[in-house]
Amino acid sequence: MSIFVDDDTRVVVQGITGGEGKFHAGQMIEYGTNVVAGAVPGKGGQEVTGVPVYDTVDEAVEAEDADASVVFVPPAFAGDAIFEALDTDLDLAVAITEGIPTQDMAKVNKRLGETDTRLLGPNCPGIITPGEAKLGILPGNIFAEGNVGLVSRSGTLTYQVVDNLTERGIGQTTAIGIGGDPIIGTSFIDALEAFEADTETDAVVMCGEIGGEDEEQAARFIGEHMDTPVAGFIAGRTAPPGKRMGHAGAIVSGSGTGTAQSKIDALNNAGVPVGDTPEEVADHVEDFL
């Protein structure tokens, strides 16, 4: 079992003719993902890494029966690309693009509430169900099939934690990067809810970071609705207020909301042990299993 993607997922890559899109489409195919089409305006009829390219997502869905998209479109056009995915009624859209203006995402977010499509990201590494499919830029070789779910706001931090798990022989059901922007589609709670419902996920790792209140809300959800044990990690304990730490969303406000301590306290209160180091997170997971 897994959540959100598996070997039946049929993927259209938006922006497949660009450098990133082409490279990662190839990587996804190599991993075994069912990449069935590309969509790039003006490039219909071409073929990239053995995949037919269409001018619109709509055509790709019509011709190849795609049900999920991965967006590798530059920030200035990514909002539009996500709208196209949402308006085509795909099951899932994964937006990798970093640096989409927040006001564009506010409009996307509004539309998202009116559709049944799940959005992952933007500014995220994507999602992987080891051995079945990966949609995004995650390095497939560090993952292993197993029974731990992982949800994280950060890409490379996810890799670090996964690496620690895999090295100990602990594999993953599905790993999800939800993205580091202020406005994102799938939240921690959405992912946690799906992991809780997944019979093969025996433990979950949640990696958060400073900024916003998503981790606090997730902690409340865990306390009230989850039987599956969760281990946590929070990045940004040493971040000074008012400074954006790389991710647009990773900023502690002047009033002290969004601090690491507030998130760690909330998780601890919900019975979630929070590691001081990535190694400690793996220790906690090992204890659960």
Partner 1 sequence: MKLHEYQAKTIFADAGIPVPDSRLATTVDEALDAVDEIGYPAAIKAQVHVGGRGKAGGIKIATDRDEAEAYAEEILGMDLKGYTVDSVLVEAGVDFVDELYVGVTMDRGEGKPVLMVSTEGGVNIEEVAEENPDAIAREHVDPAFGLHPYQARKVVYEAGVDADVALDVASILSTLYDLYEGNDASEIEVNPVMITGDREVVAADAVMNIDEDALFRQPELAEMAEASYEDDLERKAGEYGFDYVRLSGNVGIIGNGAGLVMTTLDLVDYYGGKPANFLDIGGGAKAERVTKALDMVFSDPNVDSVVFNIFGGITRGDEVAKGINEALAEFDEIPKPVVVRLAGTNAEEGMEILNTDLIEVEETLEEAVQRAVKNAEEVTQ
**Site stretch for partner 1 (CB under 8 A), options 32-40, 51-59, 195-203, 237-245:** 237-245
The residue within the footprint of partner 1, chosen from 32, 65, 99, 289 (CB under 8 A), is 99
Residue type, 38: G
| Beta carbon of residue 264, minimum distance to partner 1 (angstroms, whole number) | 11
H/E stretch holding 19 reads: helix 19-31
Q: Phi, psi (5° rounding) for residue 187?
A: -100, 175
| Residue 215 interacts with partner 1 (CB under 8 A): yes or no | no
* 10, 22, 134, 247: which one binds partner 1 (CB under 8 A): 247
Q: Residue 79, interface with partner 1 (CB under 8 A)? A: no
Q: Determine if 19 is a binding residue for partner 1 (CB under 8 A).
A: no
Torsion of CA 135, 141, 146, 149, to 10 degrees: -50
Site for partner 1 contains 75 (CB under 8 A): yes
Helices (H) and strands (E) in the chain, counts: 9, 13
In the set 128, 191, 192, 207, which binds partner 1 (CB under 8 A)?
207
Residue 238 touches partner 1, criterion: CB under 8 A:
yes
The secondary structure of 125-160 as a DSSP string is -EEEETTTEEEES--GGG--EEEEEEEES-HHHHHH
The residue range among 8-16, 56-64, 189-197, 275-283 that interacts with partner 1, by the rule CB under 8 A, is: 275-283
Q: Which of 24, 225, 247, 284 is catalytic?
A: 247
Span of 84-92, 168-176, 192-200, 271-279 interacting with partner 1 by CB under 8 A: 271-279
- Residue 284 designated active-site: no
Bridging pattern class, strands 126-129 and 203-209: unpaired
Contact between 57 and 84 under an 8 Å Cβ cutoff? The reply is: yes
Give the integer Cα–Cα distance in Å for 270 and 218: 9
What CA–CA distance (Å, rounded) separates 269 from 112?
A: 32
Question: What span, in angstroms and rounded, lies between the C-alpha atoms of 204 and 94?
Answer: 21
Closer CB to partner 1, residue 60 or residue 204?
204
196 binds partner 1 (CB under 8 A): no
Q: Which of 222, 227, 203, 206 is nearest to 146 (CA)?
A: 203
Q: Which of residues 124-183 bind partner 1 (CB under 8 A)?
A: 137-139, 141-142, 152-160, 163, 180, 182-183
* The only residue of 40, 92, 100, 133 in contact with partner 1, by rule CB under 8 A: 100
Token pair 């706001």 is at which residue? 153
Is 230 a binding residue for partner 1 by CB under 8 A? The answer is: no
Q: Of residues 21-60, which lie at the interface with partner 1 (CB under 8 A)? A: 23-24, 27
Task: Point out the residues that are catalytic.
Answer: 247
> Which residues would be at the binding site for partner 1 (CB under 8 A)?
23-24, 27, 75-76, 99-103, 105-107, 109-111, 137-139, 141-142, 152-160, 163, 180, 182-183, 207, 209-214, 233, 235-240, 242-250, 253-255, 260, 276-279
